[in-house]
Amino acid sequence: MACKEKISMLIDGKKELYERASDSIWDYAETRFEEYRSAELLCKILREEGFEVTTGLAGMQTAFVGSFGSGEPVIGILGEFDALFDLSQVAGITEKKPLVPGGSGHGCGHNALGVGALAAAVAVKDYRKEHQLSGTVRYYGCPAEEVGSGKAFMAREGVFDDLDAALSWHPGDMNEVWGCSSLAVTQAYFKFSGISSHAAAAPQLGRSALDAVELMNVGANYLREHVIPEARIHYAITNAGGLSPNVVQANAEVLYVVRAPKFRQAKEIFDRVVKIANGAALMTGTAFETVIDSGYTDYIPNDTLSRLMSEKMKELGPWQADGEEIGFAKEIGETLTATQKATANARVRDREELGVIRETGIAGFVSPYQKSDTPMPGSTDVGDVSWIVPTAQCSAVTQAFGTPGHSWQVVSQGKSGICHKGMLLAAKTIALTAAELFEHPEIVSRAREEWKETLHGESYLCPIPPEVKPAALR
């Protein structure tokens, strides 16, 4: 039996198990560094499949690795399983409706990501065994991808150091392999402290930390024009100082996320943001402390591995939607604004492909691999792994075309046939790519050569300082 048929059979044979696991993780909807039940479920499946599982990696209770086999090559498959805050949503409906008011939800599809990657690891383990191929397959359970950068903490502790290649995927609205980098990030809390006072009787005695936060944000908004256009600066006020306007707020806190194509650039902009915080503190007579929270490194695409992965995805072809899935996708498409639709359509150049989308609401094709020097405007901690080992990742269609990222629409589709089928396609793509690497280790050597050339002698520098420990969002 050809590799494609064998891998497909191995994955389809356990598809109920994988679909159930993805749905359970969707139900748990656990956020950064608190993904206890999700991690436990994935570890349970790994153990049942004969993997040797080690938990508590790099000081994180929900980081783990499952290993099978021995010797080289060592192929790592990366899985994520954390949810997003405030994105609770009823599944399978086409209107915004929280399942648990104020609760979390899988707005990035990591429920499917973790399980799809695991399905690939299990299939390639069985394929390797049957074909008596040497080498090691590892599944990495990576917590807190969302604003936590779990993989950077793992990378800092060296857990990826002996890998020969790393593979992963991300849920999305297109079947394609990534040919571009992503933005590096530095992320920190600014904690201002002032003096509390009666806001009417003695305002002159007060020093407002909330004023400092607001002035800092004004300053940062003026900074925007004077940074490189690819940079992004975001903030969230994580403590506004309380609910009483008649009290001068003595404590306030804002969380900043600064992104740029290279970590060095993000750091330079971040240092200017720190100066702005300093200015805000001087203006208001308050003091502040900067607390680095996490950081992400830019993604280094590996052409050798990416091309191979793209060939494998093409060989498998897109998954086929049934009437119910097409109906649901079209209804989800109707919830998008005209601008959202136009922005999504602009990503597709081929007229035939646009026709498929118009007809079904789903990008039911595999897009050609495209190498690009322009980074995608998002960030991922897979970037940190890609600096340590040649890495490739694909997206698979788990959502109606045009579904915005981190939205209620993603959560709503997270238990659908669309999501399940996309997850299985991603699993097969990764497993086929890994199987090829086990059969032809010379590709691994080629990928490493290319990786070395791309890095020009630079090596990984973890964006998170050594003293910063992983923590749940406060």
The residues that touch Zn ion, with contacts defined as CB under 5 A, are 108
Beta carbons of 45 and 97 less than 8 angstroms apart: no
Residue number, 108 or 250, with CB nearest to Zn ion: 108
* Comparison of 108 and 233: residue with beta carbon closer to Zn ion: 108
Which of 106/421 has CB closer to Zn ion? 106
CA distance 281 to 287: 6
Find the shortest distance in angstroms from Cβ 216 to Zn ion.
29
User: Considering the complex, what minimum distance in angstroms separates the CB of residue 167 from Zn ion?
Assistant: 16
Whether the Cβ atoms of residue 90 and residue 454 lie closer than 8 Å to each other:
no
For the chain, give percent helix, strand, coil, nearest 5.
45, 20, 40
Q: With beta carbons less than 8 A apart as the criterion, state whether 383 and 145 touch.
A: no
CB of 145 to Zn ion, least distance (A): 6
Do 27 and 19 contact (CB within 8 A), yes or no?
A: no
Beta carbon nearer to Zn ion, 142 or 424: 142
CB of 273 to Zn ion, least distance (A): 25
- Are the C-beta atoms of 401 and 362 separated by less than 8 Å? yes
Min. distance of Cβ 110 from Zn ion in angstroms?
6
* Least Å from the CB of residue 444 to Zn ion: 27
345-354's contacts with Cβ under 8 Å and 24+ in sequence apart are: 345/402, 347/174
Nearer to Zn ion, 330 or 406 (CB): 406
Q: Is the peptide bond before 245 cis (omega within 30 degrees of 0)?
A: no
Between 78 and 163, name the residue whose CB sits nearer to Zn ion. Answer: 78
Confirm if 51 and 67 have CB atoms less than 8 A apart: yes
Rounded to a whole number of angstroms, the minimum distance from the CB of residue 171 to Zn ion is 7
- Residues paired with residue 251 on neighbouring β-strands, in sequence order: 193
Hey, is 260 helix, strand or coil? strand
Question: Which of residues 177 and 252 has its CB atom nearest to Zn ion in the complex?
Answer: 177
Q: Is the dihedral of CA 320, 324, 330, 332 positive or negative?
A: negative
Residue with CB nearest Zn ion?
108
